[in-house]
Amino acid sequence: MNIKNKFFKLFVSLVVIAGLTTACNGGGEDNTDTTDTTATNDNSNNNTLLAIDGQVFIIPSPVQTALLIKSVGVEYNSALLSNPKSATNFSTNFKKSINVGIYGADLGYVTIYDQTQDAISFLTAVKALGDELGVSSAFDKSLMERFEKNLGKQDSLLSLVSDAYRSADAYLKDSERNDVGSLILAGGWLESVHFATNVAKTSKNPEIIRRIGEQKSTLENLIKLLTPHYSKPEYAEFIDGLMDLSNVFEGVEFSYTYEKPVTEADKKLTTITSKSEVKISDEQLEQITKKIGDLRNKLIN
């Protein structure tokens, strides 16, 4: 009985201390000041608990490749897109997550080409999958309303969607669901390369072909991002597919020559003038196109 009492007192004390810690540090902005120089080693536990590695891999936005495609004069092609009606068919979180990324890239593409009706269909699909994945706060009713209000204003729409994806990403990081966040990125990347490879096939545009070759490093980063989840079967199959694709990219030559950048302090601008070249053969391009197509087909159906 005595031990039980001691344990109970210890537990109550712990809860009280923990409660006070939260009350002192959480809540309003005034209490979340991380600039407090007195906070020295107190946060050492936080670092471990947030489980953040020393390295972070950034995957460029799929919107950038869609913008490039439009800028080189390629016309809108709805055949490049996935089917937003399939959103109800995805039964696993793996497929739901990756298709949030795929639909996000499609949403960017149709927005850039001012395809209003298609944009609303894709946004609705993203919202449906987002709800099922527990990120409904990012893709909520107010986003839909603001999107509809801004129809025709391309920059505003792209900002709204990108900000919503950023909110979802933050929420997933808060709730330590980095696997879902990584899959969303992977889906967006895959879809953007699918756009580029298909456009390259018909247009042979050198800027688009170069953009495909430039994915060599991004693909390596993507594999590093996903590898911690390799133990799960669906991830393993997908990562194996990406590694197979990476083997083709190994042969793509990316050369780089450093040049001293130019900084204009008054404009807070640095122009990076270093030069890079990409060499990619027709055969490599064909293999990449096929492998991207195969990977995508397994995910969108």
Site for another protein in 169-198 (CB under 8 A): 169-170, 173-174, 176, 185, 188
Among the listed ranges 145-153, 213-221, 232-240, 286-294, the one in contact with another protein (CB under 8 A) is 213-221
Q: Looking at residues 262 to 291 of the shown chain, list those that interact with another protein (rule: CB under 8 A).
A: 263, 265, 267-276, 278
Q: Looking at residues 24 to 63 of the shown chain, list those that interact with another protein (rule: CB under 8 A).
A: 25-27, 29, 32-47, 49-50, 52, 54-61, 63
C-alpha distances out from residue 280 to 192, 196, 246, Å:
18, 14, 13
State the nearest-atom distance from the C-beta of 163 to another protein, in Å: 6
**Residue 223 binds another protein, judged by CB under 8 A:** no
Q: Looking at residues 150 to 169 of the shown chain, list those that interact with another protein (rule: CB under 8 A).
A: 155, 158-159, 162-163, 165-166, 169
Structural tokens at position 47: 């670092």
Question: What is the residue whose two structure tokens read 């590093």?
Answer: 224
**Residue 5 binds another protein, judged by CB under 8 A:** no
Is-contact 104 161, C-beta < 8 A? yes
Q: Between 20 and 243, name the residue whose CB sits nearer to another protein.
A: 20
**Residue 14 binds another protein, judged by CB under 8 A:** yes
Interface with another protein (CB under 8 A), residue from 137, 221, 246, 287: 221
Please calculate the CA angle 122-128-130 and round it to the nearest 5 degrees.
Answer: 100
Q: Between 34 and 117, name the residue whose CB sits nearer to another protein.
A: 34
The helix/strand/coil state of 148 is: helix
Question: What is the residue whose two structure tokens read 């129809």?
Answer: 151
State the nearest-atom distance from the C-beta of 280 to another protein, in Å: 13
Q: Which of 174, 180, 186 is nearest to 52 (CA)?
A: 174
Enter the DSSP assignment of 252.
Answer: S
Tell me the β-bridge partners of 279.
Answer: 253
Please work out the total of residues on this chain that contact another protein, with binding judged by CB under 8 A: 84
Q: Looking at residues 245 to 264 of the shown chain, list those that interact with another protein (rule: CB under 8 A).
A: 254, 256, 258, 261, 263
Q: Which of 208, 231, 206, 168 is nearest to 80 (CA)?
A: 208
In angstroms, the first-to-last Cα distance of the chain is 61
Q: What is the CA radius of gyration of the chain?
A: 23
Q: Between 144 and 236, name the residue whose CB sits nearer to another protein.
A: 144
User: Per-residue contact track with another protein, 108 to 137, x per CB under 8 A?
Assistant: ------------------------------
Q: Between 155 and 282, name the residue whose CB sits nearer to another protein.
A: 155
**Residue 8 binds another protein, judged by CB under 8 A:** no
**Count of C-beta atoms within a 10 Å radius of residue 60:** 15
**Residues 114-149 as b or e (16 or more Cβ within 10 Å = b):** ebeebbbbbbbbbbbbbebbebeebbbeebeeebee
Rounded Cα distance, 291 and 228, in Å: 23
**Residue 217 binds another protein, judged by CB under 8 A:** yes
Among the listed ranges 14-22, 125-133, 141-149, 286-294, the one in contact with another protein (CB under 8 A) is 14-22
Interface with another protein (CB under 8 A), residue from 64, 202, 297, 301: 64
Question: What is the residue whose two structure tokens read 């895959």?
Answer: 190
